[in-house]
Amino acid sequence: MNSTEHFTSRWGLILSVIGIAVGTGNIWRFPRIAAANGGGSFLIPWVLFLFLWSIPLIIAEFAIGKQTRLGTVGAFATLLGKKRAWMGGFVGLVATAIMFYYAVVAGWCLRYFSTALTGQLLEVTDHTAHWNDFISSGWLPVLFHVLAITMGAAIIRKGVVHGIEKANRIIIPALLCLIVVSAVRAITLPGALAGLEYLFTPDLETIMDYRVWLQALTQNAWDTGAGWGLILTYAVYMKKREDIPLNAMLIGLGNNSVSLLAAITIFCTVFALVPGQGEELIRSAGPANTGLTFIWIPQLFKQMPGGWLFAIFFFLALTLAAVSSLISMLELTTRVLMDMRMSRDRALSLVFAAALLLGIPSAISIEFFINQDWVWGMGLMVSGAFIAMAVISFGADRLRQDQINSSGSDLVIGRWYNWLITYAIPAQVIILVTWWFWQVIKGNPQHWWNPLQAESVGTCIFQWSVAIALLLALNRFVVRRTFDK
Amino acid sequence: MSTAALITMILILGVVWGGFVLALRLALRKEKSKSHKALADKELK
């Protein structure tokens, strides 16, 4: 695909971008992160970050993509100077590293779809044991990871307009309908109100925990796709007179709406089906938390007439949504390589091979998976800061006037946006990182630096440093390939 | 449900779901006026 190919309509673009963001991030990741971080106490900062972090960054990504018509590396080199192209590389690398283990999640969805299709899924008596057996079997998650990434790469060869846009016109509405039906059934289960109570009760002690705020920011970025560089890549194909602010609002709010529905479904199901133990079950860490949706959704469908049919359609839609998000991640890395004058087929083959191989450790080991989700989830915060720096360097006001408030815009964004990007985004990063490091070093002085601990500060610093060192070493080569004619 | 949970639920769902419905309505209205304008321009030509 070349940059002259555009999305055919506003709804095509919105559905494609919601297709990036509505997926397992909302249905698999959001309920488990909300559960592990105190439910109601987590929702308050999570909603705040939608307006203070995600929507401003989505607007920035749209504007940068439209302004430069280049992938993340080329866009950053244009806005920040060629010496800082590595920062765009970091944004792309975070999304690529997420893609490696995201393909594993897409594989889980595919596996559950296949067992729902054969009718085995609803015959299972102990769904937690079923989940644990599956993820610890070794070869099965690898097989489904390979199938998922192959599906994604095969679809992307058809190109944006004919592939993604067409598929999303069916996938997204179907998935939304299924989630609404599931939520209604979950709420009407006897005892389900306890789930709502837990989900929406804020606790002052939990709200003062730095982890809740860190996870709220990164989860909101995960939900909406803010700071991934994915929206920037899609914006390369936007029409010149396409609106930015209203599209960004729709994407952010639409995504968080789906996340809330998914959480309501899961929380109500757990509290209704295991009365008295709901809170203990939902807060449990480890593999059971990672597989929250996969363990409880089949049990909800068992409570519904024609549940087997719902299970088939739900896991089919979830698989398609996951593959749709996977496609956009493949597209991002492919675009960066294409900007380096690599042919589309060659770039895609290279990205496909890397995703296939580098996803295998996460497919085999859930500990490795949890580590990668932690490191690169937190990496989204750094990516967001880099995007804000690119906008500041170009001039927030200039970008606002040239791109955000351009002739096709449906909403006029005021000067408050300059303030948000220039001060609020960097301030959020500085405050959260300082708070995080200070608390961790104070609370765990012996091990906070340990890069071998799954969720430590040390593992983040170590992996980010390796990535940045590599990108700095390659910076001159990448810039030469991207810009020299 | 406790009062705190009820208030939080109304606020969060109101902001997120309400905001989404409002943004969607606005987008539909803008889209409609754009298509009317495009049609009028076509007829003028």
| Residue range A333-378, pLDDT digits in tens | 988 898 888 888 899 999 999 999 999 999 999 999 999 999 999 9
Q: At A485, is the pLDDT very low, low, confident or very high (cuts 50, 70, 90)?
A: low
Q: Quick one: which of A439, A433, A42 has its CA closest to A207?
A: A42
Query: pLDDT class for A18, splitting at 50, 70, 90?
Result: low
Average pLDDT over residues A220-248: 89
The mean per-residue pLDDT over the stretch A462-478 comes to 95
pLDDT of residue A20: 57
Of residues B8, B15, B16, nearest to A201 (C-beta): B8
- Give the pLDDT of residue A409: 86
Question: What is the pLDDT confidence band of residue A13, given thresholds at 50, 70 and 90?
Answer: low
Question: What is the predicted pLDDT for the residue at A7?
Answer: 52
> Binning pLDDT at 50, 70 and 90, where does residue A112 land?
very high
Tell if the CB–CB gap between A257 and B16 is shorter than 8 Å: yes
Mean predicted confidence (pLDDT) in A11-18: 64
B26 lies within 8 A of chain A by CB: yes
Q: Does the distance separating the beta carbons of A44 and B13 come in below 8 Å?
A: no
Q: Give me the pLDDT at residue A181, please.
A: 87
List, for residues B11-41, the tens digit of each pLDDT value: 999 999 999 999 988 888 887 787 777 778 7
Report the residue from B1, B12, B31 with minimal CB separation from A47.
Answer: B12
Give the best residue of A50, A187, A410, A413 to mutate against chain B (max B CB count within 10 A). Answer: A410
Model confidence at A68, pLDDT cuts 50, 70, 90, reads very high
Q: Is A410 on the interface with B (CB under 8 A)?
A: yes
* pLDDT on residue A166: 67
Give burial (CB, 10 Å; 0-12/13-18/19+) of A128. middle
Tens of pLDDT, residue by residue over A235-284, are: 888 888 888 999 899 889 989 999 999 999 999 998 998 888 878 888 77
Q: What integer pLDDT is reported at residue A161 of this predicted model?
A: 46
pLDDT-based confidence at A483, cuts 50/70/90?
confident
Interval A33-51 mean pLDDT: 93
pLDDT at A4: 46
Q: Do A410 and B27 lie within an 8 Å CB cutoff?
A: yes
Q: Are A96 and A347 in contact (CB under 8 A)?
A: no
For the purposes of burial, counting CB atoms within 10 Å of the CB of A112, is it exposed (0-12), middle (13-18) or buried (19 or more)?
Answer: buried
Q: Which residues of A touch B5 (CB under 8 A)?
A: 40, 196-197, 200-201
pLDDT given for residue A6 in this prediction = 53
Name the pLDDT band for A469 (thresholds 50, 70, 90): very high
Query: What pLDDT sits at residue A175?
Result: 78
Higher pLDDT, A57 or A25: A57
* Beta carbons of B5 and A43 less than 8 Å apart: no
Q: Which residue has the higher pLDDT, B25 or A110?
A: A110
Q: Which residues of B touch A247 (CB under 8 A)?
A: 27
For an interface test with B, give the residue of A14, A200, A267 to mutate (most B CBs within 10 A).
A200
A169 touches chain B (CB under 8 A): no
pLDDT above 70: residue A35 = yes
- For chain B, say whether A250 makes contact (Cβ under 8 Å): yes
Output b/e per residue, A330-362; b: 16+ Cβ within 10 A: bbbbbbbbbbbebebeebbeebbeebbebbbbb
What's at A39, amino acid-wise? G
Whether residue B30 and residue A43 make contact (CB cut-off 8 A), yes or no, is: no
Q: Does B3 touch chain A (CB under 8 A)?
A: no
Q: B2 in contact with A at a CB cutoff of 8 Å?
A: yes
Lowest mean pLDDT among A60-74, A161-175, A383-397: A161-175
Position with higher pLDDT, A156 vs A77: A77
Report the distance separating Cα A224 and Cα A258, nearest Å: 10
Residue B14 touches partner A, C-beta closer than 8 Å: no
Comparing A25 with A396, which gets the higher pLDDT?
Answer: A396
Is A19's Cβ below 8 Å from some Cβ in B? Answer: no
- Return the residue of A nearest to B20 by Cα: A253
Answer whether B20 touches A (CB < 8 Å): yes
Evaluate whether A200 touches A39 at the Cβ level (below 8 Å): yes
Do A389 and A80 contact (CB within 8 A), yes or no?
yes
Is A1's pLDDT higher than 60?
A: no
To the nearest whole angstrom, how far is the Cα of B14 from the nearest Cα of chain A? 10
Q: Which of A417, A397, A419 is nearest to A55 (CA)?
A: A417
- At residue A3, does pLDDT exceed 50? no
Residue with structure tokens 């598929």? A167
Residue A475 has pLDDT above 70, yes or no: yes
- pLDDT (tens digit per residue) in A429-448: 999 999 999 999 888 888 88
Residues of A in contact with B4 (CB under 8 A): 40, 201-202
